[in-house]
């Protein structure tokens, strides 16, 4: 295949925020434009089929190929330079002619996307869609990767004003190079009372239970440990039966063990459930009474947007982009990080006030549908990148 109009670089094809947003955007491009695009991801995952429906797609690390085995052997033998050179040779080969696409769209600021970016043509226009805040940029990137991120893109697309401010204030990016395009989702229909009861019964939830949902990988940044602490605080604030359900992440292994330990020692193992990755997380968001965003930082998480689109009210810490959603919508709640007691106070009030909870959810749902769904937000993002393509 000759060079496409746009080459998308992604870190993976799992069902997490940035890969899902890319799939949504590509689906809209296919339906509404004549843009020819190709996609390169470092890791595979369930969204690969979706990407391939939009255009040719390649995976840099498709499995234990002979090249990857040799690369790992060199690294274990104490020859990291040789391993990196072999990996670069493989990446250049996998990119092929696609490296000469006139526009390269880097979807996430991560080692997995910056690595292939180093091999695209020098005359390519680079747009970097940054979904990350400082934890990711400081701790996941090395100095060379941060320098490439600062210097190579002509345009930054920031997932929220929090992301834009971080790029400018902490990384010295010229504000004229940064445009905010808030994340967008495919909306969920709010559940009727009967639907909610059915969804809950099908998942073993008792009638009258106050259900709080959180979501994300079971990693420190997402705050699943704070979600467990929240359960303990909330139990002290309400007499209602509780279920705190975490969608995504692990249900076994070293990232889950500490969470299970905390839940047992805090006396909430009967309340907190870690559900693992879900092919269709929407029903969990639709059946919930509230969504608790316990992330230590989060740019503008899609799970929270999806829940809000379903009329599920949101409470968040004051450490990321969801503060912007609550402020502009005029609904939901923001509490100081990391005050799980304050978050439990909000949820406890909602548990006792169905009218206020319903009002907040309805206002959030209307706002998300007006501003943060694919059909509304994707055209503006398309106009942004079209400015860099030849007419």
Residue 209's pLDDT band (boundaries 50, 70, 90)? very high
Q: What is the pTM of this model?
A: 0.94
> Which pLDDT belongs to residue 68?
66
Angle between helix 80-95 and 66-76 (nearest 10)? 160
Q: Tell me: pLDDT of 225 over 70.
A: yes
**End-to-end CA separation in angstroms for the chain:** 21
> Mean pLDDT over residues 290-305, rounded?
98
Q: What is d(CA 85, CA 75) in angstroms, rounded to the nearest whole number?
A: 11
**Which tens digit of pLDDT belongs to each residue from 126-154?**
999 999 999 999 999 999 999 999 999 99
> Which pLDDT belongs to residue 391?
58
Q: Tell me: pLDDT of 75 over 60.
A: yes
Q: What is d(CA 141, CA 145) in angstroms, rounded to the nearest whole number?
A: 6
Q: Tell me: pLDDT of 10 over 70.
A: yes
> Mean pLDDT over residues 13-21, rounded?
97
Q: What average pLDDT does the structure give for the chain?
A: 95
For domain 6-184+374-386, the question of CATH label 3.40.50.2000 is answered with: yes
Domain boundaries, the chain: 6-184+374-386, 193-371
Q: Do domains 6-184+374-386 and 193-371 have the same CATH topology?
A: yes
- Please say whether the beta carbons of 35 and 6 come within 8 A: yes
Residue 90's pLDDT band (boundaries 50, 70, 90)? confident
Least confident of 78-82, 158-162, 165-169, 185-189: 78-82
Residue 60's pLDDT band (boundaries 50, 70, 90)? very high
**Which tens digit of pLDDT belongs to each residue from 256-289?**
999 999 999 999 999 999 999 999 999 999 999 9
**Which tens digit of pLDDT belongs to each residue from 324-374?**
999 999 999 999 999 999 999 999 999 999 999 999 999 999 999 999 999
Backbone angles phi, psi at 53, to 5 degrees: -70, -30
Residue with tokens 């509780």: 242
Output the six-digit token pair for 102.
Answer: 């006139």
CATH fold of 193-371: Rossmann fold (3.40.50)
Q: What is d(CA 90, CA 68) in angstroms, rounded to the nearest whole number?
A: 9
Angle between helix 340-352 and 224-235 (nearest 10)? 50
């Amino acid at each position: 295949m000759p060079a496409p109009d746009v080459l998308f670089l992604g870190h993976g094809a799992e069902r997490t925020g940035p890969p899902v947003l890319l799939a949504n955007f590509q689906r809209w491009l296919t339906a509404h434009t004549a843009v020819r695009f190709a996609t390169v991801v470092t890791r595979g995952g369930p969204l690969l089929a979706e990407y391939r429906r939009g255009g040719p797609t390649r995976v840099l690390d498709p499995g234990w190929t002979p090249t990857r085995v040799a690369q790992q052997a060199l690294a274990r033998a104490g020859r990291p330079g040789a391993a990196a050179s072999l990996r670069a040779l493989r990446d250049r080969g996998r990119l092929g002619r696609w490296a000469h696409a006139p526009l390269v769209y880097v979807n996430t600021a991560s080692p997995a996307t910056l690595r292939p970016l180093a091999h695209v043509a020098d005359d390519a226009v680079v747009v970097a869609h940054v979904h990350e805040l400082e934890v990711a940029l400081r701790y996941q990137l090395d100095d060379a990767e941060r320098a490439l991120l600062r210097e190579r893109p002509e345009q930054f697309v920031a997932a929220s004003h929090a992301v834009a401010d971080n790029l400018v204030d902490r990384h010295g990016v010229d504000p004229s190079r940064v445009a905010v395009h808030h994340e967008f989702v495919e909306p969920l229909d709010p559940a009727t009372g009967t639907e909610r009861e059915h969804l809950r019964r099908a998942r073993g939830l008792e009638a009258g239970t106050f259900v709080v949902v959180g979501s994300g990988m079971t990693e420190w940044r997402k705050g699943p440990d704070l979600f467990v602490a929240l359960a303990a605080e909330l139990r002290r604030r309400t007499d209602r039966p509780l279920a705190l359900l975490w969608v995504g992440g692990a249900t076994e292994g070293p990232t889950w063990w500490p969470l299970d330990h905390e839940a047992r020692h805090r006396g909430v193992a009967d309340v907190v459930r870690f559900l693992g990755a879900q092919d269709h997380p929407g029903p969990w968001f639709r059946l919930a009474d509230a969504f608790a965003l316990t992330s230590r930082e989060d740019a503008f998480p899609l799970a929270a947007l999806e829940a809000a689109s379903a009329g599920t009210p949101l409470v968040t810490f004051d450490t990321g982009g969801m503060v912007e959603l609550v402020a502009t919508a005029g609904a939901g709640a923001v509490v100081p990080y990391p005050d799980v007691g304050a978050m439990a106070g909000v949820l406890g009030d909602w548990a006792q006030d169905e009218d206020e909870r319903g009002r907040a959810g309805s206002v959030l749902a209307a706002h998300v549908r007006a501003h943060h769904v694919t059909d509304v937000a994707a055209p503006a993002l398309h106009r942004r990148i079209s400015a860099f393509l030849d007419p």
